[in-house]
Amino acid sequence: MLGYYFKLALRNLNRNPGLTTLMIGAVALGIAVCVMTLTMYRAMSGNPIWWKNDVLYAVTLDAWDPKEPANEDRPELPPWQLTYRDAMALIESDIPKHKIIMHKAIGVVAVDGLRVKPERALTRVTTSDFFAIFDVPFKYGGGWAPRADEGPEPVAVLSKKMNDKVFGGENSVGRQIRWNDREFRVVGVLDHWLPLPIFYDVNNGSLEEPEDVFIPFGWNVALELQSAGNTNGWKPEEIETYQDFINSEDIWIQMWVELPDATARQRFQAFIDNYVIAQKKSGRFQRPLNNRLTPVDQWLIDNEVVGNDDRVLVGLAFAFLAVCLLNTVGLLLAKFLNNAPITGIRRALGASRRQVFMQHLVEVSVISSIGAVAGLALGGLMLMGLRALYTVDPTDGGGTQALAHVDFTSVATALLLALFATVAAGLYPAWRIGRIPPAIYLKAQ
Amino acid sequence: MLEMTGISKVYRTDLIETHALRDFSLGVGDGEFVAVTGPSGSGKTTFMNVAGLLEVFDTGAYKLDGEDVSRLSDEQRSRLRNEKIGFIFQSFNLIPDLDIYDNVDVPLRYRRLDAKDRDQRIKSALEVVGLSSRMHHMPSQLSGGQQQRAAIARALAGDPRFLLADEPTGNVDSLMARQVMDLLEQINEMGTTIIMVTHDPELARRAHRNVHIVDGQISDFRPYEPRNEEIMTGIGIAPVAATMSPA
């Protein structure tokens, strides 16, 4: 009988095309908004490197103003970045298995002899462990050796996207690029890598894509590089030279360490505490001792990657889906009651209430399935629209570009939920139509 | 075949109660052709709905083919309706977006017959009513008389024990009405019990028996006058009907 009901459901779609379109539209819209919101929420709230949650830590020290905290809303938290000199001191520790200090910069990439116009490229200026500590996959080559940070050596790693753009996706290891008019040799090309949110530098935009070029940290001094992200300071200081800048209390460097076990963690905590205590003696770090090693999960919470607004937005999206489904219930009732005379005929010819209920439930399932597929497509379009809306500068990763890479687990969850909800919403109309006495329609047909 | 005793049916609203059937008793034997007449609002349609298990009654007893239907579940009533009763309506009640073949198929689907059996029954029923060549026409492509014949084919396809016809000629012209009546007589002659509601005294006279309803009660009945020996054999006047007195 299910096959027969399915055939009838398809036929009934055409019986009231206006109502059918409205119902599918309502379901699709509700699902689309949910899929879009859930995708954004998942993208913003997930821990993209969960397998390292108990070994990977962001390092923060409270070197801020003794009179007021760095974050008035969360006064217990130290600032989220380090000064250059503190970062340079802490990176000397040999306790971590991997350790990095880094910041974001902007450069212009060109290639001599290629008809590729110079590209403005987000760049990460980092120590060599970046690729190992974050398990970054390589398509060609690899990262650079630690000694390249000190030289510094003119080596670079390109993202897959940049390599595709500049070298047409070929193995470019050994090729030269010009980064801000200085020659760099490509030593590696990343494979597809899209950690969402971009946990290692959340203050620069949690939904951005990773940078397109990676160069050794040592180039900071040689090229007098500054951060393309936030640089914050609390102390009025005379800064006239680059040397003044890197010796200042301005914070702009991120530091991450990989500590393989609790012992290493305790040792490194003691190391940074001792460092700060020593600095206190020279008049720095006048706030209470507050040095933190923060795992990624906590880091995302502390930095409010998923704010209350986002949770409210998800709630609103589901409330909107509920409104759409309530409307669908009304439309289903209207459609079914409109067809009540035909149901009356079927009842007269031997259909039981259960059979009428099942027939209409199959019809609801067909409508909700079509609505779900349409909702998925509409959700995809909405995400594309969002992506286009935010991608003003094509070289800017544009946080929502990443949303093109939707997490299909969350989409499947939203779809199943919506299908279940729609079928549940159709239970009442399907039950109601079966309870109508058939006789009243047979005379009036 | 059908035995109703003391049936009452009341429709209630907040303001009024309407007694559609009052202490209604009627017996119809196997193979009978009974015409039910009466003025509008007399309870004819309510009687048909109760007889066809489309409505439940308030008090009384109803046995259909020997089975007490008063305590049956909806599932059981639907099965009885599907297997033992065929309906013919004044307005045909064909499903407009199904072709004639699929319309005739509807009751067979609910009986869960296999496709081959259904196909045989549909074609055979359409042949009886002379619509084999129109089986893939939509109802809107047929005349009123053809639509009623299609409805009769639908009623016949399930091989029911009795047919309930509610003004079957009400929406067709006189020529078609005669054809429909001829067809019903043929069906009756093949052994199917028929109860037909009609306003037309001419048509009513063609039935074996005429039951007249006024205010939900039988006010008059014309005793069974068998038209031939074959029909008379095995068919008796139901005892309940025989004791009926005019209201």
A247 located within any domain:
yes
Residues of A with Cβ-Cβ distance to B75 under 8 angstroms: 352-354
SS3 for B165?
strand
Contact A332/A34 with Cβ under 8 angstroms?
Answer: no
In the structure, what pLDDT confidence band is assigned to residue A132 with cuts at 50, 70 and 90? very high
A142 and A256: one domain? yes
A252 and A335: one domain? no
A295 located within any domain:
no
A117 located within any domain:
yes
Q: Among A265, A290, A315, where does a domain finish?
A: A290
Task: Please count the structural domains in chain A.
Answer: 2
A432 located within any domain:
yes
Give the distance from residue A433's alpha carbon to the nearest chain B alpha carbon, in angstroms: 14
Q: Among A238, A259, A290, where does a domain finish?
A: A290
Asked if A14 is an interface residue toward chain B (Cβ–Cβ < 8 A), one would say yes
Contact B158/B83 with Cβ under 8 angstroms?
Answer: yes
Report the C-alpha gap between A302 and A78 in whole angstroms.
Answer: 10
pTM above 0.90, yes or no: no
User: Quick one: tokens of A183?
Assistant: 């020659």
User: Quick one: tokens of A441?
Assistant: 């329609």
A167 and A275: one domain? yes
Average pLDDT over residues A19-27: 89
Strand B193-197 relative to strand B162-166, pairing: parallel
A104 and A188: one domain? yes
Query: Does the bond joining A69 to the residue before it have cis omega, within 30 degrees of 0?
Result: no
> What are the two backbone dihedrals, phi and then psi, of residue B218, each rounded to the nearest 5 degrees?
-75, 120
pLDDT of residue A308: 67
A7 and A118: one domain? no
- C-alpha distances (whole Å) from A289 to each of A57, A77, A277, A399 are 18, 11, 8, 35
Contact A204/A230 with Cβ under 8 angstroms?
Answer: yes
A147 and A277: one domain? yes
A255 located within any domain:
yes
A246 and A121: one domain? yes
> Do the chains contact at A352 and B109, CB–CB below 8 Å?
no
Tell me what ipTM this predicted complex has: 0.84
The closest alpha carbon to A57, from A290, A352, A264, belongs to: A264
Among the partner-chain residues A4, A352, A437, the one whose CB lies closest to the CB of B109 is A4
Average pLDDT over residues A64-87: 91
A283 and A317: one domain? no
- pLDDT for B68-85, tens place per residue? 988 889 899 999 999 999
Average pLDDT over residues A235-252: 92
pLDDT of residue A97: 96
- C-alpha distances (whole Å) from A39 to each of A32, A33, A404, A413 are 10, 10, 10, 10
Instruction: Characterize B84-119 residue by residue with b for buried, 16 or more Cβ atoms within 10 angstroms of its Cβ, and e for exposed.
Output: bbbbbbbbbbbbebbbbbbbbbbbbbbbebeeeebe
Contact B61/B6 with Cβ under 8 angstroms?
Answer: yes
Q: How far is CA A388 from the centre of its chain?
A: 16
Contact B45/B197 with Cβ under 8 angstroms?
Answer: yes
> Do the chains contact at A1 and B112, CB–CB below 8 Å?
yes
A273 and A317: one domain? no
A133 and A195: one domain? yes
A38 and A89: one domain? no
Mutate to test the interface with B, among A12, A349, A357, A436 (most CBs of B within 10 A): A349
> Do the chains contact at A350 and B158, CB–CB below 8 Å?
yes
Among the partner-chain residues A1, A349, A352, the one whose CB lies closest to the CB of B74 is A352
User: Quick one: tokens of A248?
Assistant: 């200042």
DSSP character string of A235-271? S-----SHHHHHHSS-EEEEEEEE--SHHHHHHHHHH
- Which residues in chain A (226-245) have CB-CB distances under 8 A to chain B? none
Express as a percent the part of chain A with pLDDT over 90.
46
- Which residues in chain B (15-54) have CB-CB distances under 8 A to chain A? 45, 49, 52, 54
A112 located within any domain:
yes
Q: How far is CA A343 from the centre of its chain?
A: 50
Q: Among A290, A319, A335, where does a domain finish?
A: A290
B27 strand-pairing partners: B3
Letter for the amino acid at B191? Answer: G
> Do the chains contact at A352 and B93, CB–CB below 8 Å?
no
A296 located within any domain:
no
Would you state the torsion angle of the CA atoms of residues A304, A309, A310, A316, taken in this order, to the nearest 10 degrees?
160
The closest alpha carbon to A33, from A408, A378, A400, belongs to: A378
Domain that holds residue A415: 2-48+307-444
Examine the pLDDT at A417 and tell me if it is beyond 80: no
A123 located within any domain:
yes
A256 and A374: one domain? no
Report the C-alpha gap between B33 and B35 in whole angstroms.
Answer: 7
